[in-house]
Amino acid sequence: MPLNMTTSGFSWHHLNQWHFAVLPSALMLAAGLLYALGVRRVPTWSAWRSVFFALGVAVTFLSTQSVLGVYDMVYFSAHMIQHLLLIMVAAPLFALSAPLDLWYAAGGHFARSFLDSRLMSIVTHPLFGFATYFVVIPVTHLSGVANLMMQHIWVHHAEQIAFLVVGYLFFRVAFGLERGRTIHPGLRLVYVMAAVPVDTFTGLALVMSSTLPFPAFAAMAPRGSTPAWLLSNVHLGGAIMWIGGDALMLLACIPITAAWVKWETERTKELDAELDRLGI
């Protein structure tokens, strides 16, 4: 932590800071190598999906190892930006890369058996993805978990992983690209919009907080931080969650709507062709 930082001493040169934590860096490297190995075993794998995976890793790296990673336990607002990048930018990119489909195609009998198992059918079920998203967002920001995150780095890293996993499970259903149980393309819009209130509620709860909800934040904040500043930074983080989260959710609706229109167009063509065949 930059111990010489003060609440009024933040300047632009602080943006050019990096820290390469061993665990996150190792996990990202391992994930990249495993995905590359899978692509090598499946020559017909879509290049676009590989690009999406690379972009997901890049966003994860920037959100955890750049200046956001340096100050994510110092400024609550920085933590919220990191959170949105992980769960609403990196996770959708990973969902678009279809890693489970790659694992299914590149893995052997054991991999296919596991992915076809009862456990995975539950984990990849649309209701499971929605429920975990609906629970994890408020729990990690409005309960004692947020305080533990400020106190223990391993809880902080676990939270980052949870954001990626939960976001992936949610958006894999929203995009409907991977094998397994899916929902109607039109209902995917409803699925996404139904999750917006949890982001709004969490953000507003933080914005409207009259006391510091995370006592450990006072110890992690910049030197010289006043109670008023601490609370204002929590309010800023809540506003980022509320406005930024809702905006990113609406942005995700654009490709979902496009896919729905494409699906309806293809269905209309098929129906017209069937009617023509029947002479109707």
Residue 279 forms part of a structural domain:
no
Q: What's the length of the chain?
A: 280
| CA–CA gap between residue 252 and residue 33 (Å, rounded) | 28
Residue 277 forms part of a structural domain:
no
Backbone angles phi, psi at 22, to 5 degrees: -65, -50
Residue 6 forms part of a structural domain:
no
Q: With H, G, I as helix, E, B as strand and everything else as coil, classify residue 223.
A: strand
Residue 161 forms part of a structural domain:
yes
196-206 in b/e form (b: 16+ CB < 10 A) is eebbeebbebb
**What is the predicted pLDDT for the residue at 103?**
95
Structural domains in the chain (count) = 1
| Secondary structure (DSSP) of 153-213 | HHHHHHHHHHHHHHHHHHHHHHHT-SSS----HHHHHHHHHHHHHHHHHHHHHHHT-SS-S
Which segments within 35-74 are labelled E, that is strand? Answer: none
Residue 8 forms part of a structural domain:
no
Residue 276 forms part of a structural domain:
no
- Compute the half-sphere exposure of residue 276: CA atoms within 13 Å on the CB side of its CA: 6
Domain span at residue 69 reads 18-271
pTM of the model: 0.89
Q: Mean pLDDT for each consecutive 10-residue tract of the chain (280 residues)? A: 46 62 87 96 95 97 90 90 96 96 92 94 95 94 89 90 96 93 91 94 94 88 88 94 94 91 86 76
Whether 140 and 149 have beta carbons less than 8 Å apart is answered as yes
Residue 208 forms part of a structural domain:
yes
Residue 177 forms part of a structural domain:
yes
User: Which is it for the CA torsion 46, 52, 56, 59, positive or negative?
Assistant: positive
